[in-house]
């Protein structure tokens, strides 16, 4: 009898362990790709979601890919006012991992409404937009991972500080938690490493207010962007990146970020949430890159300040590490999602 009870208990323990392991296992391809009963079948996963703002009601574009009841990742693009398009590299990795994910163009971006209302381009308003998108998509603490890249990392951080009760996991990709520290890194580390004659011309154009002239980017792309934004010759940049840049809403971008990625000078100038990182209690992955516009050592420090932080360094990557250190980026990101799903 004792042997029977012992055997039964052993079976129960093994079954529990298997169930936990199964929860982190990607769903079968048949279920991952089965859109039966989903409200977005007709549009191939696309939904235009109504957003309520102080300046009226607008619509933002989203697109779902896959089915996974425990792993749903909402992607917050950078800019501000770039597009979801440069995230299309995720198509090469997330489906095979069985992760459900959502492309999303924030208000003001190319696929969404673009109201000409300067009052809308404020961080708190964007946070409320993300919360409305979450509700419309039916994401919750049992499945909702929020990934923010660059400006999207600012937005993801702010969302977590206000609404982390809805999150299962958070990913801050290639974004420092302090714009003053970001500017200091640009001024003390990145700019001194540039060709100083080129830098002087760039600065002169900025002082003269001539940053919309073609010469400005013609100087910055080979001397700065190819070193710290995406470490490939611009002629070889992938099509999703080129489309994302071509569709950038520069009015919103310049108002909030400034004229380029070489530091910030717009409405984000004083943003700093480093002192508040300890309030973030959900599992958090911080992704940095050795050649980024963002200080990788600072980002490693951020991972140590959140309560359940992990740090992923892309040693060959830059700001767009999902392209120039792609395997490291996605291996680490997918491992994080699976670990959190499995309770590790």
- In the chain, where are the structural domains located? 1-344
pLDDT-based confidence at residue 25 (cuts at 50, 70, 90):
low
pLDDT digits 0-9 by tens, 154-167: 999 999 999 999 99
pLDDT digits 0-9 by tens, 44-63: 999 999 999 999 999 999 99
Q: Where are the alpha helices (DSSP H) in 164-291?
A: 179-185, 196-207, 214-220, 226-228, 239-246, 250-256
Mean pLDDT of 197-218: 96
pLDDT computed for residue 26 by the predictor: 72
CA 144, CA 285: separation in Å to the nearest integer? 14
Q: Which of 31-45, 114-128, 314-328 has the lowest mean pLDDT?
A: 31-45
pLDDT-based confidence at residue 35 (cuts at 50, 70, 90):
confident
**Residue 80 preceded by cis peptide, ω within 30:** yes
Catalytic pick among 177, 319, 324, 341: 319
Catalytic pick among 149, 166, 292, 318: 292
pLDDT-based confidence at residue 28 (cuts at 50, 70, 90):
confident
- Average pLDDT over the chain reads 93
Residues in CB range of 333: below 8 A, 6 or more apart: 93, 147, 171, 285, 287, 312
Tokens at 86, concatenated: 């440069």
Tell me whether residue 52 is one of the annotated catalytic residues: no
pLDDT computed for residue 1 by the predictor: 39
CA 186, CA 182: separation in Å to the nearest integer? 6
Least Cα distance to 175 among 61, 334, 45, 289 occurs for: 289
pLDDT computed for residue 37 by the predictor: 87
Tell me whether residue 319 is one of the annotated catalytic residues: yes
Tokens at 161, concatenated: 């500080």
Exposed / middle / buried, residue 83 (Cβ in 10 Å: 0-12, 13-18, 19+):
buried
Catalytic pick among 150, 173, 177, 223: 150
pLDDT-based confidence at residue 82 (cuts at 50, 70, 90):
very high
Tell me whether residue 112 is one of the annotated catalytic residues: no
What pTM did the predictor assign? 0.92
The CATH number of domain 1-344 is 3.40.50.720? no
């Amino acid at each position: 009898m004792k042997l029977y009870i012992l055997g039964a208990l052993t079976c129960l323990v093994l079954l529990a362990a298997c169930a936990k392991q199964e929860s982190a296992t990607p769903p079968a391809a048949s279920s991952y790709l089965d859109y039966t009963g989903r409200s977005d079948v007709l549009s191939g996963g696309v939904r235009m979601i109504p957003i309520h703002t102080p300046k009226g009601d607008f619509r933002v574009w989203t697109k779902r890919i896959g089915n996974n009841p425990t792993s749903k990742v909402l992607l917050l693009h950078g800019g501000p006012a770039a597009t979801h398009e440069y995230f299309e590299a995720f198509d090469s990795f997330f489906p095979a991992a069985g992760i459900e994910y959502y492309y999303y163009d924030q208000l003001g971006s190319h696929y969404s409404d673009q109201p000409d209302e300067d009052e809308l381009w404020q961080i708190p308003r964007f946070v409320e937009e993300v919360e409305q998108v979450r509700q419309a998509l039916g994401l919750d603490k049992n499945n909702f991972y929020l990934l923010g890249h660059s400006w999207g990392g600012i937005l993801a951080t702010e969302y977590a500080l206000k609404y982390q009760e809805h999150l299962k996991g958070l990913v801050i990709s290639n974004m420092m938690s302090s714009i003053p520290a970001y500017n200091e890194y640009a001024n003390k580390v990145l700019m001194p490493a540039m060709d100083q004659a080129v830098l002087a011309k760039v600065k002169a154009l900025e002082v003269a207010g001539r940053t919309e002239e073609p010469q400005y980017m013609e100087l910055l792309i080979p001397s700065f962007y190819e070193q710290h934004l995406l470490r490939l010759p611009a002629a070889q940049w992938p099509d999703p990146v080129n489309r994302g840049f071509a569709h950038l809403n520069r009015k919103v971008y310049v108002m909030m970020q400034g004229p380029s990625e070489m530091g910030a000078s717009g409405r984000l100038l004083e943003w700093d949430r480093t002192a508040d990182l300890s309030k973030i209690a959900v599992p958090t992955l911080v992704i940095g890159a050795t050649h980024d516009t963002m200080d990788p050592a600072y980002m490693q420090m951020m991972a140590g300040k959140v309560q359940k932080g992990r740090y992923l360094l892309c040693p060959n990557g830059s700001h767009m590490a999902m392209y120039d250190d792609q395997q490291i980026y996605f291996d680490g990101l997918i491992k994080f999602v699976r670990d959190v799903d499995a309770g590790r």
